[in-house]
Structure 1
Amino acid sequence: MDTHYINEVLKGNTNAFGYFIRTYQNKAFGLAISIVKREDDAKDVVQDSFITAYSSLTNFRNDSKFSTWFYRIVVNTALQFIKREKRKHEVTGEYSITKDEKTALNNAISQLEKQDLKKLIKGIFEIISAKEALVLQLYYIDEQNIAEIEAITSLTKANVKVLLYRGRKSFYKVLKNQKLKELN
């Protein structure tokens, strides 16, 4: 279906590009916010990404899915935004989690209501590093496989796996710290 709309836009039907906006804006926003952390900034990144995709549509070669190509644009635009704004959030240090702690955290998460869970995840994504949040967003929320994440982010397979591992550890560490604060 994407191919039909790509051809329409390339033929000069600018209204056909609305299909891409309607189809991809929510996931693009999710990707952007996982990187830039603020809603207003994420909206700007998504808007810039759509403008870039529209003006670069003639360069789309159909050797991958349009979504993969477009999400790559979103990631690049967000990373460029971070460089310009010099806003980096990093979680440093080593942390290991026991099997019992993981089980307890998973049980606690499953008891949260869906809306609370979304707020919790968004809050944690704002704390952990942008790359870790991006990879976790793509893998767990957008359900992209490792090969698709490689294509979207230009990271190697090994880097994606390392970021998934570190991201999970960072996520659990932040979650555990928040739960400990609530108990005190």
Structure 2
Amino acid sequence: MDAHYINEVLNGNTNAFSYFIRTYQNKAYGVAISIVKDEENAKDVVQDSFITAYSSLASFRNDAKFSTWFYRIVVNTALQSIKRKKRKNEVLGDYAITDNQKTACNNAIGLLEKQDLKKLIKGVFEKIPAKEALVLQLYYIDDQNITEIEEITAFTKANVKVLLHRGRTNFYKVLIKQKRKEFF
């Protein structure tokens, strides 16, 4: 389906690009917000990414999925945005998380309404390092596999796995820290 619209745009039908915006804007926003941690900045990143994708569409090679190529643009644009703003991530204290605490967090998450869950996840993503939030977003929310995450982020397979592990650990740390009074 993407190939059809790519050909349409390349043949001069600029309105055909709206297909890509409708199809990919929500996931692109999710990827962007997981990196930049700010709604307005994430919207700007997505808009800039679509502009870049449109202007670079002729260079798209059909040996990869359009979504992978586009999410790579989103990631690069978001990382450039962070560099420009020189954001600093909150450093989390070192402490161990027990299996019982992980189970308690999982049980509590299961009880949350979908909207509350989205707000909770967004809040946690704001407090963990951008690369970890990105990999968690792509893996758990956008259903990308490790190979696709490698292609999107240009991280090595080992790095993706490490970021997933660290991201999970830091996600639990922040979650426990935020919800300790409510859950325990």
Could you say whether these structures have the same fold, taking a TM-score greater than 0.5 normalized by the shorter chain as the test? yes
Displacement after TM superposition at 1:183 (Å): 7.0
What is the TM-score when the length of structure 2 is the normalising length?
0.96
Judge conservation of contact 1:125–1:133 (CA < 8 Å) in 2. yes
Runs of 4+ more than 4 Å apart: 181-184
C-alpha distance in structure 1 between counterparts of 2:104 and 2:182, whole Å: 15
Number of positions where the alignment pairs a residue of Structure 1 with one of Structure 2: 184
Aligned to 1:113: 113
Displacement after TM superposition at 1:86 (Å): 0.5
List per-residue Cα deviations over 1:68-98 (Å, max 9, x = no partner). Answer: 0000000000000000110121434433322
Aligned to 2:165: 165
Alignment root-mean-square deviation, CA:
1.3
C-alpha distance in structure 2 between counterparts of 1:183 and 1:139, whole Å: 26
Aligned to 1:78: 78
C-alpha distance in structure 1 between counterparts of 2:144 and 2:29, whole Å: 15
C-alpha distance in structure 2 between counterparts of 1:42 and 1:63, whole Å: 28
Structure 1, unpaired ranges of 5+: none
Judge conservation of contact 1:8–1:16 (CA < 8 Å) in 2. yes
Structure 1 counterpart SS, 2:126: helix
Structure 2 counterpart SS, 1:170: helix
Aligned-pair identity (%)? 79
- 1:1-184 equivalence runs, <5 A: 1-182=1-182
C-alpha distance in structure 1 between counterparts of 2:94 and 2:24, whole Å: 36
Structure 2, unpaired ranges of 5+: none
C-alpha distance in structure 2 between counterparts of 1:99 and 1:171, whole Å: 14
Judge conservation of contact 1:36–1:78 (CA < 8 Å) in 2. yes
What is the TM-score when the length of structure 1 is the normalising length?
0.96
